[in-house]
Amino acid sequence: MAIELTSSEIGTPVLDATGLEIGIISTVDDGAAMLDPNPTIADEIRSMVGFGGAEPDHVPLTSDLIDSSDNGVIQLSVPDRLL
């Protein structure tokens, strides 16, 4: 079952399949999410207040990469090195 992300996930931490935190969700448009792999405190705050945006180093996350979205964390089904 595909997991559909919404704008409420912006700023949510993302963990790879090994449990390592690899970034935060920076934007979500029509269910397509972008991962900020190197968020600064300022990036996290901008994302939470709606001023975040995709930048060249951000990675697209398709629903097939997402294993779960619970407890304020998005868990991927792949390790970081496969993104």
Cα–Cα distance between 25 and 61 in angstroms, integer? 9
pLDDT confidence bin for 52, thresholds 50/70/90? low
pLDDT confidence bin for 75, thresholds 50/70/90? very high
Cα–Cα distance between 13 and 69 in angstroms, integer? 10
* CATH no. for 7-76: 2.30.30.240
Q: What is the pLDDT of residues 4-45, one digit of tens each?
A: 888 899 889 999 999 999 999 988 988 789 998 877 776 666
- The reported pTM is 0.79
Provide the mean pLDDT of the chain.
82
Burial grade of 74 (CB within 10 A; 0-12, 13-18, 19 or more): buried
